[in-house]
Amino acid sequence: MHRTMPDQNTELTLSEEAAAAAASLAENSATEMPAPESDQIAGQVASEAPPVPRAEYDQLKAERDQLLDRLARLQAEFENARKRAERDKIANRDYAAVSVVEKFLPVLDHFEMALKSTGTADQLRSGVELIVKQMEDVLRQLHVTAIPTLGAEFDPRHHEALGSVERPDLPDQHVAEEIRRGYKLRDKLLRPALVRVASNPKQTSE
């Protein structure tokens, strides 16, 4: 019986079809089964990590609790120190105010006595002048002094000019009149003196 041998071209065609089918199967498998994501990998690694021993966990928890307790104590101490500093500040301010008020109480007493006086206008004026002198003494005790004005050279740091007045008997740009007295506390200006400045026409024309 005579058998027919397969053609060589037919065998090559079948081999090519088999290779194409295998490649297609591989592509489908890659599409249907996506690669695991990084989070999944990390979760797997974490799940595979060995558990922390109970003793070590308890030690870490105790240290954390100690740190939290210390932080709470420091916050409480800071708040108490802030409140204490505020109380001391108020107490010092009140003490300073009391020391000043005590010095002015006798002056106030003398003013009240002057208001109740039934003497003449000259007697009342003399009494008020004594009270003013007493008040000036108290201010000097507090290191408060009046700013020199009449006859002094005009100083914009200490004087505030309300205008000028012609005065040939005074040097030009010197204080001719004092409207309101100025004061300073040691070297600190409390308020400037309100003055009128002399304008000497003889010196101005030169």
Q: How far is CA 63 from the centre of its chain?
A: 36
**Per residue in 79-104, pLDDT tens?**
999 999 999 999 998 988 998 999 99
Summarize pLDDT for 128-149 with one digit per residue, the tens: 999 999 999 999 999 999 999 9
Q: Specify the CATH number for the domain of residue 177.
A: 2.30.22.10
Residue 39 placed within a domain? no
Structural domain for 103, as ranges: 55-142
Q: How far is CA 33 from CA 20, 37, 42, in A?
A: 20, 12, 19
Confidence of residue 74 (pLDDT cuts 50, 70, 90): very high
At which of 107, 127, 142 does a domain end?
Answer: 142
pLDDT digits (tens, 9 = 90+) for 192-203: 999 999 999 887
Is 95 in the same domain as 128?
A: yes
Cα angle 136, 142, 143 (rounded to 5 degrees) comes to 85
Question: How far, in Å, CA of 139 to CA of 131, rounded?
Answer: 12
Residue 27 in domain = no
Same domain for 92 and 112, yes or no, is yes
* Mean pLDDT for the chain overall: 82
* DSSP secondary structure string for all residues of 107-137: HHHHHHHHHH--S-HHHHHHHHHHHHHHHHH
* Number of domains comprising the chain: 2
